[in-house]
Amino acid sequence: MKQRHLFRQAMALGLLSVTVMFGASAQAKEWKTVTIATEGSYEPWNLTLPGGKLGGFEPELMEILCQRMNLQCKLVVQNWDGMIAGLQAGKFDVMMDAIVITPERKQVVDFSVPYASTPASFITLKGKPALPVEAGQSMIKLADDPAQIAPAVAGLRGALQGKTIGIASGTVYTPFIDKYFKDIATVREYTASADAILDLQAGRIDTVFDDVTFANSMMSKPENNNLTLGGPQLTGPIWGDGEALGFRKTDPELKAKFDAAIKTALADGTVKTLSEKWFKTDVTP
């Protein structure tokens, strides 16, 4: 999950916006129409279908949520790295882009309850390079603890020595790659995860680190049948509390509406059904 934001640059803007808008939000707003921004290119979370319509796990979930809340919802496409600034500028009301909840991000925006939680992994060309997976370690659960992470990634560091790693800019995965691999490998950042895959196929980088659900979607395409997951899948609190919707801090009523709707969709199996449709696995948190 995209992650995927320039949060440090947006933080000053976000905090300023909260200060300026606080007085205006003193009276609760009655929401009837809502504009939701998504990337439209982070498959299978969200994608642009032929004809321009948005599809994927999140747009389908959003359609159900909006029907249940009796809200008129409009989906718009927004580049990932400008999403926070666009939210604070009032261009849209909700961010929906496989956004992982983290303490840093919570300083800038409010989050709904999570509706998904997914692992991450390296994506490589088959055999180039071969990344190690120790016996019984195909899935490793990690906390944000260097004492635990360092030995878990030691084999990966050895295999990626001198290689080039692609990563989507501003994602929850970016600081992890910078902290544990930038000293032994070249790290190249991309505006969109799909662009990193294109460079991997072109031989300009050696591997991509991203969400496993995105990786599986990319590998399901005929033109990507030479891609594979490399090394173990990494999951757990290291990636935050899960994927959720993002809101301005001045819109608590809107967040409360979505919280209630998401909880209902989790409880009645709606999220599970959609996740199995789009991810072929249950990603409910």
Q: What is the pLDDT of residue 13?
A: 46
Q: Are 37 and 96 in contact (CB under 8 A)?
A: yes
Mean pLDDT score of the chain, rounded to an integer?
A: 88
pTM, two decimal places:
0.70
> CA 190, CA 4: separation in Å to the nearest integer?
10
Higher pLDDT, 21 or 36: 36
> CA 4, CA 19: separation in Å to the nearest integer?
25
Q: Is the pLDDT of residue 213 over 80?
A: yes
Handedness of CA 178, 181, 182, 188 (dihedral sign): negative
Q: What is the pLDDT of residue 137?
A: 77
Q: What is the pLDDT of residue 24?
A: 43
Q: For residue 266, what pLDDT band results from cuts at 50, 70 and 90?
A: very high
Tell me the mean pLDDT in the region 254-262.
97
Q: Which of 25-34, 111-120, 227-236, 242-251 has the lowest mean pLDDT?
A: 25-34
Q: For residue 136, what pLDDT band results from cuts at 50, 70 and 90?
A: low
Could you tell me if residue 98 is left (phi over 0), alpha (psi between -120 and 50 degrees) or otherwise beta?
left
> CA 124, CA 163: separation in Å to the nearest integer?
12
Q: What is the pLDDT of residue 27?
A: 55
Q: Is the pLDDT of residue 196 over 80?
A: yes
Tell me the mean pLDDT in the region 179-183.
97
Tell me the mean pLDDT in the region 111-129.
92
Tell me the mean pLDDT in the region 70-98.
94
Tell me the mean pLDDT in the region 122-146.
85
DSSP H or E run through 243: strand 243-247
Q: For residue 135, what pLDDT band results from cuts at 50, 70 and 90?
A: low
Q: Are 159 and 129 in contact (CB under 8 A)?
A: yes
Q: Are 115 and 285 in contact (CB under 8 A)?
A: yes
Q: Which residues contact 146 (CB under 8 A, 6 or more apart)?
A: 179
To which residue do tokens 């009276």 refer?
27
Q: Is the pLDDT of residue 18 over 60?
A: no
> CA 116, CA 95: separation in Å to the nearest integer?
15
Q: Is the pLDDT of residue 104 over 90?
A: no
Domains and CATH numbers, the chain: 33-118+241-279 (3.40.190.10), 120-239 (3.40.190.10)
Strand partners, 176: none
Q: What is the pLDDT of residue 285?
A: 84
Q: What is the pLDDT of residue 280?
A: 83
Percent pLDDT > 70 in the chain is: 89
